[in-house]
Amino acid sequence: MTTTATETGLDELDAILARARSAFDVARHASDEERAGWIERVAADVDAAVDELVAVADEETHLGPVRLRGEVARTTGQLRLFARVVREGSYLEVIVDHADASATPPRPDLRRMLVPLGPVAVYAASNFPFAFSVLGGDTASALAVGCPVVVKAHPGHPRLSRRTAEIATTALREAGAPEGYLALVEGYDAGIALIEHPLVAAASFTGSVAGGRALFDRAAARPDPIPFFGELGSVNPVVVTPAADSARGAELAAGLAASFTSGFGQFCTKPGVVFVPPASTIERELAEAPLEAGRGPLLTDSILRGYLAGTRRLVGVPDVDVVAGGLGEGPEAAPLVVAVDAPTAAEHAGELLEEVFGPVTLLVRYRDGAELASTLERIRGSLTATVHAEPEDDVRELVDRLTRLAGRVLFSGWPTGVAVTWAQHHGGPWPSTTSQHTSVGTTAARRFQRPVVYQDAPAAVLPAALREDNPLGIPRRVDGVLEIPGV
């Protein structure tokens, strides 16, 4: 079987987007219960095909059946979660302000809710062939709120992408979804044409800073600019206090080794920069740690080339020490731990404090709070930031600094592993993401909706969510008071 990606022709792309636009006219008027049923059917059919899909995925990615089965479960669980989201109803953010002639100025009747944007372009990622690919969180959240999705397949797993799309489109059709509600396109030219197509209302992307920025710029340069939600680069800084290093340095070293080599370092939340005190237990333990478990083939040749170039860049900076591992050559990436003093890291931030995708982490030795603060100032926005401290440590100022830097702040854990929940946020300041919205968790749906207010509208034209008797039984804010039926 071939693993070569195909090219979607531009005429075919036009036809796909025309079907997606027609599907939008149906889906946006479908009930939440109908859309929930559509995506639940997809989840069920993917679960039923798990053996086949995992086998194909392992041939193309070499990530291993255990990891891939877990990722399928995460993916179908995410679909079912978004079915619950739309049934619950608060995703619509309904607000009703009744008319008040005594207000200054007089207030008309105002009823606000979110509505879907239209067809969405989703650019699949390489490192999660299920959870951030054809049926990943971007697709799940868009389909749930009524937005058809056209996925640009990642060339790292083309056969898996096609088969996943086949299963999903069949499931949607049999569940009653409109034709064209989900489609797959392949090829570089199709990917460029997709972001520029006039029928595309929004786009999402997970990948490199360079690739994401190029698409972001194209989305903004269109005659009708569209929202672009990109998850790009992140070094995910970790700060270990001297007290934490002294109390449990060996444990922390083991946790760090497992985290930065997990998935061969190809997680967007990999801890890439770790601040430790001088002569730390962590550095000593890592120098003796067996890191062979983190050695393996990277997902694509371009990722491997980037990893080799990035690690050579790190060790090429003066006064950078190799703590453990090596640069590696050939088809496999070798894990690498390097270390540098904080002043050098701050001076060479452009070379040292940028993401290197793969199993490498940089230890930054800081002598005091001033060195830590000045070096943190040179780290750009990240998805996560982590604190390892002891109860006697006063880390309030540090947490405030990290909160400005990242979208998720962790304590006494490691950032790899992103729970799919109502409260999760997977985003952060540039360049980790291009907006304030999350790509994981239930509020990801907010990316593909926009607010509309109906003023003094006749009851007969109001959507069900805005009617006075609340026939959907959903949470709403009425005259400033949150109302939750049944509570």
CA distance 275 to 402: 13
268 given a catalytic annotation: yes
Q: What share of the chain is helix, strand, coil (3-state, %, to 5)?
A: 45, 20, 40
Which two three-digit tokens encode residue 197? Answer: 């197509």
CA distance 343 to 364: 9
147 given a catalytic annotation: no
Provide the 3-class DSSP secondary structure of residue 118. Answer: coil
DSSP annotation of 279 = T
**Residue 478 is inside which H or E element, if any?**
strand 476-478
DSSP annotation of 392 = T
Which two three-digit tokens encode residue 262? Answer: 């997990």
DSSP string over 189-248: HHHHHHHH-TT--EEEEES-HHHHHHHHHHHHHSSS---EEEE------EEE-HHHHHHH
Nearest to 416 by CA among 241, 333, 294, 284: 294
Say if residues 446 and 138 touch (Cβ distance below 8 Å): no
CA distance 134 to 152: 8
CA distance 214 to 207: 11
CA distance 44 to 80: 9
Q: Are strands 120-123 and 228-231 parallel, antiparallel or unpaired?
A: unpaired
Catalytic entry in 40, 71, 186, 231 = 231
- If 0-12 CB within 10 Å is exposed, 13-18 middle and 19+ buried, where does residue 104 land? exposed
Catalytic entry in 268, 283, 354, 355 = 268
Active-site positions read 231, 268
